[in-house]
């Protein structure tokens, strides 16, 4: 079994080697199997309809973008991993979905999308804390049409600290959870990778969104594949922020 190790690398692209190794095996993870349910929830929560245009920031292999495309919603998926984007494009067929390789922080769209989604820590929560995530939310907010809505998920600090496992460490200053995970590629080969995930409280997400100029509608506690309008809880792994750009 190969191993990696070291400090959090600068620039926030530490996940790219993980994505390159995982490939199609990423979609075998249990947390990826509830895509249809998550999109059902998002269509309702964001009031999405066929013909609308959505930005999927940090789209990974495109599971949410593709599911939205199957419902007639035009999606631009953006990710920094060429391997994940290749998987997304292979399943796009004739769907109204496009995928672009880019750093989410460097996007410069202005009032072009009816909605933005940023889920599963894609483009948010993998950048090492500080104000990097605020910069992302500002970029995503700028991409929205006036009145447009955003859904953004983030790991819960409460859950991570309450359920901290052996070998994991939590940086209380930055809110970053570090773990060394054994990852299997599509052929079953194993490799260890360092994973760093920034975690949040609902109050932090509200403050970030407000500083980015958005109006917060709600913050829910959600589990992958079981999105619901439920209050945040210390025993629920993620928070889902819903907000909109003022008109």
3-state secondary structure 85-124: HHHHHHCCCCCCEEEEECCHHHCCCCCCEEEEEECCCCCC
Domains of the chain, earliest start first: 18-155+201-244 (3.40.50.150)
Q: How far is CA 27 from CA 68, 90, 120, 172, 175, in A?
A: 17, 14, 13, 31, 27
* pTM score, whole prediction: 0.92
What does the pLDDT profile of the chain (247 residues) look like in tens digits? 343 445 666 566 778 888 899 888 888 887 778 899 999 999 999 999 999 999 999 999 999 999 999 999 999 999 999 999 999 999 998 999 999 999 988 899 999 999 999 998 777 777 766 677 888 999 999 999 999 999 999 999 999 999 998 889 999 988 999 999 899 999 999 999 999 899 999 999 999 999 999 999 999 999 999 999 999 999 999 999 999 999 9
Give Cα separations from 208 to 80, 148, 225 (angstroms).
23, 17, 25
């Amino acid at each position: 079994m190969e191993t990696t190790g070291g400090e959090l690398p600068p620039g926030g692209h530490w996940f790219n080697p993980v994505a390159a190794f995982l490939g199609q095996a990423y979609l075998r993870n249990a947390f990826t199997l509830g895509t249809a349910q998550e999109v059902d929830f998002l269509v309702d929560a964001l009031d999405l309809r066929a013909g609308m245009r959505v930005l999927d920031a940090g789209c990974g292999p495109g599971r949410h973008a593709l599911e939205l495309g199957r419902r007639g919603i035009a999606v631009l998926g953006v990710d920094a991993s060429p391997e994940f984007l290749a998987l997304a494009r292979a399943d796009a067929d004739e769907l109204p979905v496009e995928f672009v390789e880019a750093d989410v922080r460097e996007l410069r769209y202005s009032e072009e999308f009816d909605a933005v989604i940023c889920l599963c820590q894609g483009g948010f929560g993998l950048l090492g804390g500080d104000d990097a995530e605020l910069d992302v939310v500002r970029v995503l907010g700028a991409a929205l049409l006036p009145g447009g809505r955003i859904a953004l998920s983030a790991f819960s600090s409460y859950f991570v600290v309450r359920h901290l496992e052996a070998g994991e460490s939590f940086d209380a200053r930055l809110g970053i959870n570090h773990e060394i995970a054994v990852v299997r590629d599509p052929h079953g080969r194993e490799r260890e990778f360092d994973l760093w995930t920034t975690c949040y409280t609902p109050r932090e997400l509200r403050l970030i969104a407000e500083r980015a100029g958005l109006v917060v509608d709600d913050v829910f506690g959600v589990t992958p594949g079981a999105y619901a309008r439920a209050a945040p809880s210390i025993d629920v792994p993620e928070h889902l922020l819903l907000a909109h750009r003022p008109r």
